[in-house]
Amino acid sequence: MKPVCKSNGFVEQFTLGEGDLRFAVKDTLDVAGYRTRAGCPALAAVPVAERHAGVVATLLEARCLLVGKTTLHELAFGVTGINPRCGTPVNPRYPSLIPGGSSSGSAAVVASGEVDFALGTDTGGSVRMPAACCGIIGMKPGFGVLSRHGVMPEESSLDCVGVFTRDAAVLRDVMTRLAIPVGEPLDALPPMACVLAAEPEIDACVLEFLAQAGCSPQETTLALLEEAHRAGLTLISHENWRASGPLLATSLVSADVALRIRAGADITPAALRQAEQTRIAFTAGVDALLDKTPLLAMATLPELPPTLQEAKEPLSVVNLTRLVRPFNLSGHPALTLPVGEVDGRPVALQLIARKGHDGLLVQAAEWLLSRRRH
């Protein structure tokens, strides 16, 4: 009998390891002795994993306590976190809103306080988006910084293991245990540039938060942002077709997810070449901007998170990833943190740093959140 997601986001619970930090992992990461089902009935009977995913093993060796696996948007291919086949976790702080995808369960169990942190994966915003929807911190390290050994899909040019926490102090602790260096707390925030690319009321909320923290970021533009979003969609579609296409023969993949996976078969070589050219050009533009100012700020989501009812048509919400997906394409580290609300829905700030400067994002989150007005 396959596990079913509890309303809190867990799909299986157990106890592995010992230590002072409790964590959960998205069910796309292997845990020895358990099946990795990725929220999909087509994988209900896969063999149990023989060994832990690399990042899971590292945390267990660093004396963290693994308490369970969390559900997700089926096959990690969706932005709402809605999974009618295996259960949709309730967004603890905003129950009428989507939990965000694809790492919905990991965000939910952190937001609810059931664990200190959780692991998710981020291929097109799948850590930062649910973190923004649930009002918590979500960090996507730079591409390749954390091991993807034992993580689904096996091959990806976009996917990163990421971390959810409720506060920056725990994020610092987790990053340190994962051997990502984080410097001493900042006395002052380094120069920051800000891109205003969201709905006006969201951008205004972000700017108000930064102003209250004593920041006066320089407004700037980022060329090819929309093109990078589309290129990321092209690449994830192609790569998910290669990884999950064979599962469609089982007829056990939900219709909406199957439709999007099948669309990857139609990606042409010319489209892939164009996407890779956009990757090179956009990455160079981000690098050049971050050479001038060490931090780039923008809203995490361009629109307010929708309600579960509003999100019934999954394709209608793909635009929600247009400010996060580009940094999967470029491979830069990025972090989201909550900054306020508009009309009772959460607003989040995204910070991006130079490659190899993942620790600066943790320091910046500490500095900014310590100045947040409650």
Residues marked as catalytic: 26, 102, 126
Strand 192-195 to 160-165 pairing:
unpaired
Using only C-alpha atoms, what is the Rg of the chain?
19
Give the torsion sign (CA, 212, 216, 221, 222).
negative
Q: What is the dihedral of CA 11, 87, 100, 309, to 10 degrees?
A: -160
Q: At what angle do helices 255-263 and 225-244 cross, to 10 degrees?
A: 110
Amino acid at the residue 126: S
Long-range contacts of 282-285 (CB under 8 A, 24+ apart): 282/223, 282/224, 282/225, 282/227, 282/228, 282/231, 282/326, 282/329, 282/330, 283/329, 283/330, 283/331, 283/332, 285/222, 285/223, 285/224
Q: Residue with structure tokens 């829905």?
A: 345
